[in-house]
């Protein structure tokens, strides 16, 4: 079984030991950091396929680690929080987390979420031809994107959403189909994760020169890039 290098940033030493034992058996190689500054330094190395980040950390909380990390890195990241407060989940997604789980979490669900993140970021190779719609360009393989000559700092999830939309510009993409393709999951009745990622993506893309939204929404149905 091939190993995926994974970083866990959590000050709960017992949990780190348990996750290391469990995830090692599931094909991951683990490194742990137990405070915010140390975790940020390790995460910036770029040597990990994915990161698990706790919200409550000494030295620098997880949200600040995430905020700083996303300035230079789009490594897939899953947040954990013992409090499980909705505000933590919302802030985490707004700051660029790709997924979120409350503590305590089922290790089997954690493995499933991590595998979904990895499939989305290291999955089937996409065509190498750069996609372009107007002044927007996106490389479907590297998931790098530009507006004009300016690079866009997108997370993996945001880039996957954008790729799905601009592969069929002007066509309505069903919410569930978009979530399954870009987020690797179906949406539950109260799941707002797609909407949060879409809000972040729209903010980064900005408006067309004529003031129109680049991504249009059709209430209750889906989204399209126009």
Categorize the per-residue pLDDT at 125 as very low, low, confident or very high, splitting at 50, 70 and 90: very low
188-208 confidence digits (pLDDT tens): 888 888 888 999 999 999 999
Does residue 42 share a domain with residue 59? yes
* Average pLDDT rounded to a whole number, residues 71-98: 81
Does residue 156 share a domain with residue 108? no
pLDDT value of position 126: 45
pTM above 0.75, yes or no: no
Q: Which residues contact 138 (CB under 8 A, 6 or more apart)?
A: 130, 131, 132, 144, 145, 146, 159, 162, 163, 166
Does residue 135 share a domain with residue 219? yes
Residue 62 and residue 79 in contact, taking contact as beta carbons nearer than 8 Å: yes
Q: Give the residue among 95, 80, 62 at the shortest CA–CA distance from 200.
A: 95
pLDDT: which is higher, 146 or 107: 146
List alpha helices for 78-192, DSSP H: 86-95, 107-122, 156-166, 175-182
* Average pLDDT rounded to a whole number, residues 83-87: 65
168, two tokens: 């069929």
Domain end: 70, 100, 122, which one? Answer: 122
Categorize the per-residue pLDDT at 36 as very low, low, confident or very high, splitting at 50, 70 and 90: very high
* Average pLDDT rounded to a whole number, residues 48-75: 92
Q: Give the residue among 100, 98, 68 at the shortest CA–CA distance from 82.
A: 100
Does residue 112 share a domain with residue 76? yes
């Amino acid at each position: 079984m091939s190993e995926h290098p994974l970083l866990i940033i959590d000050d709960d030493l017992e949990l780190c030991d348990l996750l290391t034992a469990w995830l090692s058996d599931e094909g991951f190689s683990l490194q742990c950091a137990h405070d915010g500054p140390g975790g940020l330094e390790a995460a910036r190395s770029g040597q990990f396929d994915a990161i698990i980040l706790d919200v409550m950390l000494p030295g620098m909380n997880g949200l600040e680690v995430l905020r700083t990390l996303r300035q230079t890195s789009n490594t897939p990241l899953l947040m954990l929080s013992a409090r499980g407060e909705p505000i933590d989940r919302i802030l985490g997604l707004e700051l660029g987390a790709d997924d979120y789980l409350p503590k305590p979490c089922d290790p089997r669900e954690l493995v499933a979420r991590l595998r979904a993140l990895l499939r989305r970021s290291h999955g089937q190779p996409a065509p190498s031809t750069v996609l372009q719609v107007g002044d927007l360009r996106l490389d479907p393989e590297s998931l790098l994107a530009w507006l004009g000559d300016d690079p866009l700092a997108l997370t993996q999830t945001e880039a996957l959403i954008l790729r799905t939309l601009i592969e069929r510009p002007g066509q309505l993409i069903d919410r569930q189909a978009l979530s399954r393709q870009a987020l690797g999951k179906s949406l539950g009745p109260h799941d707002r994760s797609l909407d949060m990622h879409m809000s972040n993506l729209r903010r980064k893309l900005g408006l067309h020169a004529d003031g129109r939204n680049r991504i249009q929404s059709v209430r209750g149905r889906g989204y399209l890039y126009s």
